[in-house]
Chains A and B, each alone.
Chain A
Amino acid sequence: MAVRQIVGGKFQDSAGNPLVAGYLTFRLLTDGYTGTIQVSAGIKATVPLDSNGTISGTVYLWPNASLTPVSVYQVDAFTATGENVWSNQMTIPAGAGSFDLGTWVPSNT
């Protein structure tokens, strides 16, 4: 198994205004490993959003299904001014190709 590219998202408010230049943070809630690789939960990954509220650039993350033990990401979305406007515990599924964050249904946990 390998890291998987994450794309999309289209983070916006309920009126459809995108989180222009906002950003996401990803943090594993538990340490994990895959093969001979240890994945540290203590390091938070920050991912910038573009003018459409979509992930900017190329970002790879470990799919949770690749990690042992079972894990989830704490994912938060912030406006450009740093206001936390979206917060959920989510998983990145394993699979071929990239994963569109826009397909997530928020867990609201």
Chain B
Amino acid sequence: MSISKVQLTGGNFQDSEGNVLNLGYLTMELNQDESVNDSQICHGVKITIKLNSSGSVVTSPTQSVWGNDQMFPINSFYKVAGYNANGQLCWGPNNQQVTGNGGTFDVGSWTPNQVISWTPPLQPLALQVNEVSNGSQALLDLHEGSNITLTDNGSGRVTIAGAAGISLETNEVPNSSQTLLDLHAGINIGLGEVAGEVTITNKMPAASTIQFAVPNWVTTSADWRESPYPTSGGNWDLKTQSSNVGGTSALSFVQATATIAPYWKYLSASGTTSFVSLYGNTNSQYLGLTKIFKIRSAFFTSTLVRNWVGITSGGQYISVNGFESNNPAYNIVGFRYSAGTDSFWTAYCSTNDSHFTASATTVAVDITGVLHDFSFGITQGTPGTVYFYIDGVLVATINSNVPSATTAMSPILYSESLDNAATPGIGCNLVYSETFQ
């Protein structure tokens, strides 16, 4: 369908006192080249629309223009200026549109500088932050936040730039992750975070005292040698004790081989409740200071025996059968193996015969005579949690029914027969303690 021009009418152009632009005129100029029907409309030609004595568009002869809503490309407009008869610019220039296909268009209906036809239709601007309307819908004044720089290029573009990025490095080498720095505490280092503040503390003990006892290698007596050497007795004052229902116990030294270090060996005669033991006669081992306590020992049977290795406040009661129980009535920190009850070595803490915690490990009793390190210790300042190790491997952690930090205890190495046919025995070549002071 062919498009027709639109006749312009009306206007009543006048000044603010009501004096009309008598015999004045309008000029109209397209903002861009357009096409309509099969014609090219040249924006470079400014046309003149005459006004009558009322300041309105002369209607005879008719004066017509192309409707902006009929031309292509879309969204064109006219730049319109109004002049009086003397050629004085009185109105505009303003951007205006004429719409329609044929018919008339009253330019008096123009709102200066307001478009009528636009694709897509003009929408009021909505200013929002995170889908929530801003308090002001008339002003959007961007402000720089911390580490953000805003730059207006003066042509409508605002560039948001972050401050120089943080480089996460370790010893001048960039970390594999540049987005996460998760501090972990190494050995003897403490880390704590409160309200974004990370505190690094040195948990290295100021000093350690090493105490140890070894057999008196020059004799087959039950005598043990302790360091520091006591003026009388010993720090632990290690003693041996046996009960031999069916015979006598046998004490010997096992010579070193290519695979086994030398050690002191104490075998009991067979018989129910027969036992052999090495124990401290003086309670002088305090869990609160125990960085590590270790007994390097060997066992020779796991059949129908009950073994204890560790520290206890009840060593002096061995001779009165105080350990002929799976839950002796003493403070104990150590390992238990009781045939028929335990399948493996069991970490054990107790304060008496009714308050105890047993935590099974997965380490079986080695009956080959090979020495193993049975050890445990605490983290300085937290004696309520005991870490148990066998041959240096953490095998259990206990934090209930743990003897107090100030309970005095002493070493115990004990093996007892639970049957008339069993022959308990123990081997040992070192009792060792390292304290936090």
A residues bordering B, Cβ < 8 Å?
8-17, 19, 53, 77, 79, 83-88, 100-106, 108
| Residues in A neighbouring B5, C-beta threshold 8 A | 15-16
Cα A87 to Cα B29 with chains together (Å): 15
Cβ distance A50 to chain B, nearest Cβ, rounded Å: 14
What is the total number of residues of chain B having a CB less than 8 Å from a CB of chain A?
Answer: 25
Q: Is B201 an interface residue (CB 8 A)?
A: no
Among the listed stretches B65-73, B186-194, B383-391, which one makes contact with chain A, having 4 or more residues with CB under 8 Å of it? Answer: B65-73
Contact in complex: A101, B40 (CB < 8 Å):
yes
Cβ distance B110 to chain A, nearest Cβ, rounded Å: 16
Interface positions of B from 30 to 65, Cβ below 8 Å from A? 30, 32-35, 37-45, 47, 63-65
| Residues in B neighbouring A105, C-beta threshold 8 A | 35, 72-73
**Residue in B39, B43, B63 whose beta carbon sits within 8 Å of that of A15 in the complex:** B63
**Residue in A10, A79, A84 whose beta carbon sits within 8 Å of that of B40 in the complex:** A10
**B32 closest partner in A (C-beta):** A108
**A88 closest partner in B (C-beta):** B33
| Residues in A neighbouring B66, C-beta threshold 8 A | 14, 16
- Asked, given contacts A102-B35, A106-B34, whether A14 binds B44 with beta carbons under 8 Å apart, the answer is no
Cα A103 to Cα B73 with chains together (Å): 12
What are 28 A-B interface contacts by the 8 Å CB criterion?
A9-B40, A11-B40, A12-B40, A12-B41, A13-B41, A13-B45, A14-B29, A14-B34, A14-B65, A14-B66, A14-B78, A15-B28, A15-B47, A15-B63, A16-B66, A19-B42, A77-B40, A79-B45, A83-B45, A84-B44, A85-B44, A100-B38, A101-B40, A103-B38, A106-B32, A106-B33, A106-B34, A106-B73
**B63 closest partner in A (C-beta):** A15
**B78 closest partner in A (C-beta):** A14
Cβ distance B140 to chain A, nearest Cβ, rounded Å: 30
Cα A87 to Cα B43 with chains together (Å): 9
Cβ distance A12 to chain B, nearest Cβ, rounded Å: 6
- Asked, given contacts A9-B39, A11-B42, A85-B42, whether A17 binds B33 with beta carbons under 8 Å apart, the answer is no
Cβ distance A74 to chain B, nearest Cβ, rounded Å: 13
Cβ distance B96 to chain A, nearest Cβ, rounded Å: 12
Contact in complex: B38, A102 (CB < 8 Å):
yes
New contact pairs (11) apart from A12-B40, A102-B40, CB-CB < 8 Å: A13-B45, A14-B41, A14-B43, A14-B47, A15-B5, A15-B28, A77-B40, A79-B45, A86-B33, A86-B42, A102-B37
Cβ distance A21 to chain B, nearest Cβ, rounded Å: 14
Cβ distance B252 to chain A, nearest Cβ, rounded Å: 102
| Residues in B neighbouring A13, C-beta threshold 8 A | 41-42, 45, 47
Cα A53 to Cα B41 with chains together (Å): 10
**Residue in A10, A79, A88 whose beta carbon sits within 8 Å of that of B38 in the complex:** A10
| Residues in A neighbouring B78, C-beta threshold 8 A | 14
